[in-house]
Structure 1
């Protein structure tokens, strides 16, 4: 057996400690370099809609916060599930992020047999960013000027009317379904479109009668007189439409609905990177400039950190489940 002198023992011990320190420091060093290249934010919706709008203004601010290039990549299709599946399969290194609306938490309730990812376990909920009420509007040819009048017309001649929605399982889809259920109307169809653009085009053209849609896409149509707003779905009137009542004011006493928007990453995102993204999102959403931009689009800043956003998703998912079951919404 080889015996070590006190000096050689200390040298060996210090050498081993140095190697260990180097090994332990390597991951931390790699994470401290983040970001060192372009970050891609995947938007699973077409350009021009509310999700795309929120994502692009956030991406513009994020590049300044992290001092790196940030690009938005639209991957639409299958109610947002194509883009979501791509992110779920991506490396959890912070370079592939994902912004979507509440539909991310709704899809698993509707596509239980066909969805290819777990909307919770396959993602890291980084932060909630914003939320906004929907506008309940009708084509100007519809004679109703209030929600109560429209309900009476729907009941009197349901075959004459239809609802549009920008996507199956979207906030607008569930809000319309909840409205029809609470008004005890079962024969009015909800027509599904691939995005807000074509839905609003047919709304303006009179092919469909009504829609509940985020302000970003519907507000210009209402302000130009191409659509008539009957109500907004928030708890309070919108400063952008101060003369339009809330659904509660219009007689639907328990009706309150929002489209909300969040930032996700693939599951197992390293804690230092998560913290860096959380901090950046918190600062971005707290700036007056960002809040003014959101307000002009009909949204409000609604930042939540990762644990609070995760809890919010759980509570919203439970609420959506109740709506889907009560309204008997099924995929296909």
Structure 2
């Protein structure tokens, strides 16, 4: 409603009754003020215009504040509102990259937003892992974590650039990969027991094993095996797993402990002879091959796990959303079958909560740091 208020010139108030209009030096002026006011103005019978204006401004400010609150809540509810980035600290085409891309594809479907995989390899995975730690903690950057990046590198590098317990938000462990102890088909050793007996009977470093480099799970497994038997083994590092396994086949070295996905084809082709796996239980891909644990080496376990992490400080509701959708992804039969065929021991669903992932990192640091520090001299 519009209020018309007339204001007269102050000279009119002082004009005498007999004053003629022709005698006025200045013609009186009349101004009409159009003031838009809400109907609630009727509650102000005194017609106090300033109060009405103040009231209107206060109401406008309150409405704006309410709109901001609603907008913020709506933004939280809409997460994610844009594509996510998944940093993989390993080269494209690696086993870790294959796992990451398979998960990213299905996670995008669950979230309704693209999940872009970005490979940042180098320095044993420290480069990409540093980028994960330094990203904004808003839930839009996640990354693949591995036992090597969060555990091994903490011991092998003086300054890896991150603290595994302080700089990340663990979300979920996705899968494990065990190693398999292999020898050449012509090797006289047909069981772990026979091999262990021969190692114990020989001088230290008499038996040799190959690996794809210092600090790899192949290297760690060989060192732990020698410690378990009380006889150090000679480590021979090659440029990659294929070269290391060729050295076993040609009898340049006595044995090796390689990731199941890498060795499976050669085992099935009769090029390598498996004696045992390094997981506590047998691998479903090789059900006839015992574990070292059941072969007399109680509690022997060397596995490599992979999981999804984010920078420290991601809001709890977004961590919960990511965990929920990852659980949905890893529960899909097609996904589980695909990863199992590639040699991964897929995590059971429902996936363990983030607190369990944190506990795993802490436990593995306590378990492996003393062992890993003995290998530090070979790290770059």
TM-score clears 0.5: yes
* Aligned pairs for 1:109-258 within 5 A: 109-111=154-156, 113-155=158-200, 156=202, 161-186=207-232, 188-193=233-238, 196-258=241-303
Higher relative contact order, chain-length normalized (CA < 8 Å, sep 6+): 1
Distance 1:41 1:201, change over 3 A: farther
- The residue aligned with 2:336 is 291
CA contact (8 A) 1:110 1:331 kept: no
CA contact (8 A) 2:156 2:215 kept: no
Which range moved further: 136-145 or 57-66? Answer: 136-145
- In 2, Cα distance between the equivalents of 1:61 and 1:196? 29
Distance 1:214 1:24, change over 3 A: farther
- The residue aligned with 1:60 is 105
Aligned length: 327
**2:97 is paired with a residue of what secondary structure?**
helix
- The residue aligned with 2:358 is 310
- The residue aligned with 2:317 is 272
TM-fit CA distance, 1:8: 6.0
Which range moved further: 124-133 or 206-215? Answer: 206-215
TM-fit CA distance, 1:27: 4.6
Distance 1:64 1:199, change over 3 A: farther
- In 2, Cα distance between the equivalents of 1:211 and 1:18? 70
Distance 1:197 1:67, change over 3 A: farther
**2:127 is paired with a residue of what secondary structure?**
helix
CA contact (8 A) 1:202 1:208 kept: yes
- The residue aligned with 2:139 is 94
- In 1, Cα distance between the equivalents of 2:339 and 2:320? 24
Q: Does 1:70 align with 2:115?
A: yes
TM-fit CA distance, 1:218: 1.7
CA RMSD of the aligned region, Å? 2.9
Distance 1:308 1:22, change over 3 A: farther
Distance 1:199 1:53, change over 3 A: farther
State the TM-score, normalized to the length of structure 2.
Answer: 0.75
- In 2, Cα distance between the equivalents of 1:189 and 1:176? 9
- In 1, Cα distance between the equivalents of 2:116 and 2:250? 34
- In 1, Cα distance between the equivalents of 2:261 and 2:154? 26
State the TM-score, normalized to the length of structure 1.
Answer: 0.85
- In 2, Cα distance between the equivalents of 1:25 and 1:190? 62
